[in-house]
Amino acid sequence: MVKEQVPGIRKELITKASSTFQVLGPGVANRKVVVAKYTVPANTAVMLQNGAQLVMKLADGSGNEISRDSYVYLYKKQSGFDGEQFIAKIPYSAFFDLAVGEQRNERYKDVTRVAFAVPKPAVFLGAEDELQIWVESADQVDFSNSATIFELEVHVKQV
């Protein structure tokens, strides 16, 4: 549907392996902190749709999964501006009970979709804008741990 509306757009996954994905450090237990960010490359626009597919398994420094009562937040930080724009608060409990393979399975996709805090069809990020990932957990999440998996479906267009 998106390809029909915007010529030249392609689906892509933001992952820890993305060239402009940066781990900012371990989380802090019992505090909401930014742990990672994805910076939109130059000459690129990114569209994050409401209902985008998200796959994640978050681990602490020892490789143990963080607690089910944790929350993941998505924020947009526009290049050249201070402050962030809140996008979504995602309860980790929906992901805790599902293996990564199950999260990718059509049967569970409705459980693992991003629901925006405000009713809008998409959030657009321009070149050098950041998509920030914040985590609030009783555990100290470690995005640099190999056991941590994060995949967010977006649409990308070269501009």
- List the structure tokens of 156: 């990308």
111: which residues sit within 8 A by CB, 6+ positions away? 94, 98
pLDDT average, residue stretch 88-112: 93
Question: 0.75 cut: is pTM over it?
Answer: yes
CATH number at residue 83: 2.60.120.1180
Q: How many helices (H) and strands (E) does the chain have?
A: 3, 10
> Residue with structure tokens 């990718």?
104
Number of domains in the chain: 1
Counting Cβ atoms within 10 Å, is residue 62 exposed (0-12), middle (13-18) or buried (19+)? exposed
Give percent above pLDDT 70 in the chain: 97
Residue 109, CA atoms < 13 Å, CB-side half-sphere: 9
Average pLDDT score over the chain = 93
14 lies in which domain range? 2-158
Q: What is the pLDDT of residues 110-158, one digit of tens each?
A: 889 999 988 899 999 999 999 999 999 999 999 999 999 999 999 999 9
Q: What is the pLDDT of residue 1?
A: 52
